[in-house]
């Protein structure tokens, strides 16, 4: 059994006892002298009561003088612990140690009061910003229970905060947003809206416990603005191309009309007429090809996705190149849900661009294999790459601009179609100069695996 705990004497009682002990020798000596002398009993009792009274009185005063400041400091610290930073100690004097301690406690209360005021202002600002922004913000705890939602989030769920706080992500239909990639684009319907959404997820800690911050932004308005810009750019391109074709047609037609209206025609007027009509025919044919290219770009069908093995697909495409310029690097066994015909078209266009950028076989400086095709898989992403040993990309900003081309016989829609096919599969297409120290370009087609 543990030994019994000894009773502890309170601090103020010990101070009182120490004060009595400090005066005890003097009291004993004075009493011995008083009662051992020849004083009358009246004097002896009077002086005894007087000495005893002063002895006990000063001991009590000393105890109060020591205990009262300690109680004051305890009250101040209790107020700070409970969040009351307005309490201050009076008589805090820096000229003595006790006053120095009280002054430091007062200063500590002032600092904590300023910090709490700043935290309250920052919290109020954060809440105001969260309520005013048009981005839905949700905060879930480690059990996927909703703990915080702003106004936009309430509108997205179509329920007030008091009805959705404390509910699970599965009940709110947001459980799929808490899994998978931390950033993605969603095409789905929420109770309060339908459209295309940008989703981002971040982990933060509160009280040492991990929480999930979910942000869902409506991409419809930015997409509409981008669509308007794209249409304006397309109209400018079409208008430019039409002007380039119609202006010479109009000029030549006017000149031929002037020749035909002359009473006296020149001897070679038939040759001029024939040449003018040939030019008009050529420009009309070019304008027709341009409009067909535009129609082809606008009528791209939606992908018909089926499971497809990527390796055999790329070998089949490369086998169409009979000049031996293209080599298959290889990759892991990967099966992805894609539209095989559209992906083949993308790879054919990329290989065609790559082979046209490198020297022809047999020319000086032309290697045996100038173009390499391969594929890799990282996490849930499939990457198909086509790299060449050509001079690289000189103007990378315009490679995806519709109808922009540097080839004499190019239409300027090949790469645009390729990127459109990639995006319709939920992927991306990028072209850049190689960063491994070699000349040439590398095209990367990234698709969900």
- Give the model confidence (pLDDT) of 319-346 as tens digits: 776 566 788 887 888 888 998 888 888 8
Report the C-alpha gap between 93 and 173 in whole angstroms. 63
Which range, of 46-60, 126-140, 290-304, averages the lowest pLDDT? Answer: 290-304
Distances (CA, A) of 68 to 24, 140, 168: 24, 49, 54
Kindly state the average pLDDT of the residues 228-237: 70
Mean pLDDT score across all residues of the chain: 80
Kindly state the average pLDDT of the residues 410-431: 79
- Give the model confidence (pLDDT) of 351-388 as tens digits: 888 888 776 655 555 555 688 899 998 877 899 999 88
Residue 105 near residue 76, CB atoms below 8 Å: yes
pLDDT band at 405 (very low <50, low <70, confident <90, very high): low
DSSP state of 365: T
Query: pTM higher than 0.85 for the full model?
Result: no
Can you spell out the DSSP letters for 65-101?
HHHHHHHHHHHHHHHHHTT------TT--TTSHHHHH
Can you spell out the DSSP letters for 144-171?
SBEEEE-HHHHHHHTS-HHHHTT-BHHH
- In this prediction, residue 300 carries a pLDDT of 67
Say how many Å lie between the first and final Cα of the chain, rounded: 69
User: With pLDDT > 90 as the criterion, what percentage of the chain qualifies?
Assistant: 5
> Which of 155-169, 222-236, 309-323 is predicted most confidently?
155-169
Residues whose CB is less than 8 angstroms from the CB of residue 299 and which lie 6 or more positions away in sequence, other chains included:
none
pLDDT band at 1 (very low <50, low <70, confident <90, very high): very low
């Amino acid at each position: 059994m543990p030994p019994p705990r000894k009773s502890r004497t309170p601090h103020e009682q010990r101070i009182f006892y120490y004060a009595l002990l400090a005066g005890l020798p003097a009291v004993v000596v004075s009493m011995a002298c008083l009662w051992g002398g020849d004083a009358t009993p009246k004097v002896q009792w009077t002086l005894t009561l007087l000495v005893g009274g002063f002895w006990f009185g000063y001991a009590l005063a000393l105890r109060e003088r020591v205990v009262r400041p300690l109680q004051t400091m305890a009250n101040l610290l209790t107020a700070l612990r409970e969040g009351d930073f307005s309490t201050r100690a009076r008589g805090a004097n820096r000229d003595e140690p006790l006053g120095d301690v009280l002054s430091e406690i007062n200063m500590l209360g002032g600092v904590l009061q300023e910090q709490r005021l700043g935290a309250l202002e920052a919290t109020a600002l954060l809440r105001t910003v969260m309520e005013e922004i048009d981005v839905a913000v949700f905060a879930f705890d480690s059990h996927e229970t909703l703990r915080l939602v702003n106004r936009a989030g309430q509108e997205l769920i179509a329920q007030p905060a008091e009805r959705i706080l404390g509910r699970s992500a599965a009940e709110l239909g947001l459980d799929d947003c808490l899994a998978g990639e931390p950033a993605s684009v969603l095409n789905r319907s929420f109770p309060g809206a339908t459209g295309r959404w940008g989703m981002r997820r971040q982990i933060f800690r509160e009280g040492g416990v991990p929480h999930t911050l979910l942000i869902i932004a409506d991409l419809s308005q930015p997409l509409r603005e981008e669509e308007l810009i794209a249409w304006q750019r397309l109209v400018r391109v079409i208008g430019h191309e039409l002007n380039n074709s119609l202006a010479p047609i109009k000029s030549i037609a006017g000149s031929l009309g002037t020749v035909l209206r002359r009473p006296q025609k020149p001897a070679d007027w038939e040759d001029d007429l024939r040449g003018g009509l040939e030019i008009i025919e050529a420009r009309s044919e070019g304008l027709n090809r341009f409009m067909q290219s535009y129609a082809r770009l606008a009528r791209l069908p939606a992908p018909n996705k089926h499971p497809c093995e990527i390796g055999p697909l790329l070998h089949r495409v490369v086998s169409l190149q009979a000049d031996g310029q293209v080599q298959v690097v290889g990759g892991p066994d990967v099966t992805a849900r894609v539209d095989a015909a559209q992906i083949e078209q993308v790879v054919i266009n990329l290989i065609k661009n790559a082979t046209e950028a490198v020297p022809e076989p047999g020319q000086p400086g032309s290697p045996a294999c100038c173009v390499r095709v391969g594929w890799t898989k990282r996490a849930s992403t499939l990457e198909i790459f086509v790299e060449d040993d050509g001079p690289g990309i000189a103007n990378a900003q315009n490679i995806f601009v519709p109808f922009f081309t540097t080839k004499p016989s190019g239409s300027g829609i090949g790469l645009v179609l390729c990127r459109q096919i990639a995006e319709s599969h939920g992927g991306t297409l990028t072209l850049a100069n190689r960063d491994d120290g070699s000349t040439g370009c590398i095209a990367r087609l990234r698709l969900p695996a």
